[in-house]
Amino acid sequence: MNILVTGGAGYIGSHTVLSLLNNDFDVIVFDNLSNSSIESIRRVEKLTDKKVTFVKGDIQDKAALAELFCAHNIDAVIHFAALKAVGESSTMPLAYYQNNVNGSLCLLEVMATFKVKHFIFSSSATVYGGDNNVPYIETMPLGEASSPYGASKVMVERMLNDVAKADSDFRAISLRYFNPIGAHESGQIGEAPQGVPNNLLPYIAQVAVGKRKSLQVFGDDYQTLDGTCERDYLHVMDLAEGHVAALKWLNKQRGFTGVEAFNLGTGKALSVLSIIRAFEQVSQQNIRYEIGARRSGDLAAFWANADKANRLLGWQATRSLEQMIEDTWRWQVNNPEGYL
Ligand SMILES: NC(=O)c1ccc[n+]([C@@H]2O[C@H](COP(=O)([O-])OP(=O)(O)OC[C@H]3O[C@@H](n4cnc5c(N)ncnc54)[C@H](O)[C@@H]3O)[C@@H](O)[C@H]2O)c1
């Protein structure tokens, strides 16, 4: 089967491409490299000893997409391509709606033209908003997103539902990721943020190798065990394997049409301080940090109820926190400048 992976050169995309190749899918990556490097794909090819078809392009360029769909017989699309910095989305909301919402719209339009009916979408736990109780479960209503980034994910999920209502052959899965961290165990591919990292683990890793002085912890007065925010961290390879499980499930369903959402998380929440301590233990480095003010939009704690993915997809996160941190550390030490 030919799988089109948009944003496949990025962090989660590259790990998923590796899992797809290891499961004998053929992969075409379409990425504008705005937040990634072609080197990630080259390394995936080396790790798997398989070829990836790479096309540089933007999902808002419908002509380029049409050319791609014309040249390849695409069976399903996994759609990662998006801007993803929550904080930045509040300062440049239009860029997020443009790229994430309009980009998805362009992609779905071209898919409709070429009658490609299988779609897997990178959604996020942010779609639950702040008002639902934890743990989050897929039957909960979509919440009031706390950022334009979150709103863009809610909008695409709504769009998918409407497409599915209008086209009874259309089948989509929204995978709602919790907090992916870690890297492939080889230390060859991992998260390579450009500029200042937005996520906790790359930031800690850069402090550990001396690239940054200290980590700012956003608040220690939350109603949690140690006062810092708690999140459901899962290994990026578990997440990658979740996509393969979702794709196989989608291909097997005969009666199913519509959109199915799945949480991908471990079902456990860990605090920022506990991650710092665990990182210190694994890396044997001292992580300097300062407690700062709360960051607007941050929730105290959330984690997944991932029973549905386990029940229907046969998927479960299996890698430990120690493994997540060991793999992040290996990647960081081997690649202090990312893919440069
Ligand atoms: N990393 C997380 O914590 C997290 C959590 C929940 C959901 N997600 C979602 O998962 C997806 C992948 O995230 P990631 O962490 O791998 O991010 P990433 O930035 O590493 O990967 C995104 C990729 O998409 C590409 N891209 C962006 N806009 C594009 C466009 N218009 N056309 C073509 N390519 C484009 C980028 O160059 C990059 O390679 C995103 O949709 C993100 O919103 C990520």
Determine, yes or no, domain membership for 17: yes
The mean pLDDT of 261-279, rounded to a whole number, is 98
Cα 339 to ligand 1 centroid, rounded to whole Å: 16
Reported as a single tens digit per residue, the pLDDT across 193-222 is 988 998 999 999 999 999 999 999 999 999
Choosing from 4, 16, 84, 122 the residue with most ligand 1 atoms within 8 A of its CB, the one to mutate for a pocket test is: 84
Is the pLDDT confidence value at 110 over 90?
A: yes
> What is the Cα–Cα distance from 65 to 177, expressed in whole angstroms?
26
Determine, yes or no, domain membership for 298: no
Cα 31 to ligand 1 centroid, rounded to whole Å: 10
User: Domains in the chain: how many in total?
Assistant: 1
Residues pairing with 305 in the sheet: none
> What is the Cα–Cα distance from 186 to 205, expressed in whole angstroms?
17
Which of ligand 1's atoms lies nearest the C-alpha of 57? Answer: 33
Is the pLDDT confidence value at 75 over 80?
A: yes
Mean pLDDT of the chain: 97
Cα 8 to ligand 1 centroid, rounded to whole Å: 8
Residue 16's CATH number: 3.40.50.720
Determine, yes or no, domain membership for 312: no
Which of ligand 1's atoms lies nearest the C-alpha of 59? Answer: 32
In this predicted structure, what is the pLDDT of residue 253? 86
Cβ proximity of 321 and 233 under 8 Å: yes
Nearest residue (CA) to ligand 1, atom 29: 81
In this predicted structure, what is the pLDDT of residue 125? 97
Reported as a single tens digit per residue, the pLDDT across 140-158 is 999 998 899 999 999 999 9
The mean pLDDT of 166-176, rounded to a whole number, is 96
Cβ proximity of 106 and 62 under 8 Å: yes
Choosing from 5, 29, 34, 238 the residue with most ligand 1 atoms within 8 A of its CB, the one to mutate for a pocket test is: 34
Determine, yes or no, domain membership for 58: yes
Cα 100 to ligand 1 centroid, rounded to whole Å: 9
The residue annotated as part of the active site, out of 149, 177, 203, 222, is 149
Determine, yes or no, domain membership for 171: yes
Is the pLDDT confidence value at 173 over 80?
A: yes
Which of ligand 1's atoms lies nearest the C-alpha of 84? Answer: 43
Determine, yes or no, domain membership for 57: yes
Reported as a single tens digit per residue, the pLDDT across 290-320 is 999 998 889 999 999 999 999 999 999 999 9
The mean pLDDT of 42-64, rounded to a whole number, is 98
In this predicted structure, what is the pLDDT of residue 153? 98
pLDDT band at 255 (very low <50, low <70, confident <90, very high): confident
Q: Are strands 118-124 and 76-79 parallel, antiparallel or unpaired?
A: parallel
Pocket, ligand 1, Cβ cutoff 6 A: 6-7, 9-13, 31-36, 58-60, 80-82, 84, 99, 103, 122, 124, 177, 179-180, 199
Count CB-CB contacts under 10 A for residue 114.
15
Determine, yes or no, domain membership for 161: yes
Cα 268 to ligand 1 centroid, rounded to whole Å: 24
Is the pLDDT confidence value at 27 over 90?
A: yes
Nearest residue (CA) to ligand 1, atom 35: 81
128 a catalytic residue:
no
pLDDT band at 257 (very low <50, low <70, confident <90, very high): confident
The mean pLDDT of 160-180, rounded to a whole number, is 97
Quick one: what percent of the chain has pLDDT higher than 70?
A: 100
> What is the Cα–Cα distance from 130 to 145, expressed in whole angstroms?
8
Reported as a single tens digit per residue, the pLDDT across 222-242 is 999 999 999 999 999 999 999
Q: Give me the torsion for CA of 161, 162, 166, 168, rounded to 10°.
A: 0
Determine, yes or no, domain membership for 189: no
Amino acid in position 236: V
Cα 85 to ligand 1 centroid, rounded to whole Å: 9
pLDDT band at 118 (very low <50, low <70, confident <90, very high): very high
The stretches of the chain forming alpha helices (DSSP H) are: 11-22, 38-48, 62-71, 86-91, 93-96, 103-113, 148-166, 200-208, 236-252, 272-283, 307-308, 321-334
Count CB-CB contacts under 10 A for residue 26.
17
The mean pLDDT of 82-96, rounded to a whole number, is 95
Question: What range defines the domain where residue 110 resides?
Answer: 2-182+233-265
In this predicted structure, what is the pLDDT of residue 155? 98
Choosing from 5, 11, 86, 194 the residue with most ligand 1 atoms within 8 A of its CB, the one to mutate for a pocket test is: 11
> What is the Cα–Cα distance from 4 to 192, expressed in whole angstroms?
22
Contacts 24+ apart (CB under 8 A), 136-141: 136/176, 136/263, 136/302, 136/303, 136/304, 136/305, 137/263, 137/305, 137/307, 137/308, 138/176, 138/261, 138/262, 138/263, 138/305, 138/308
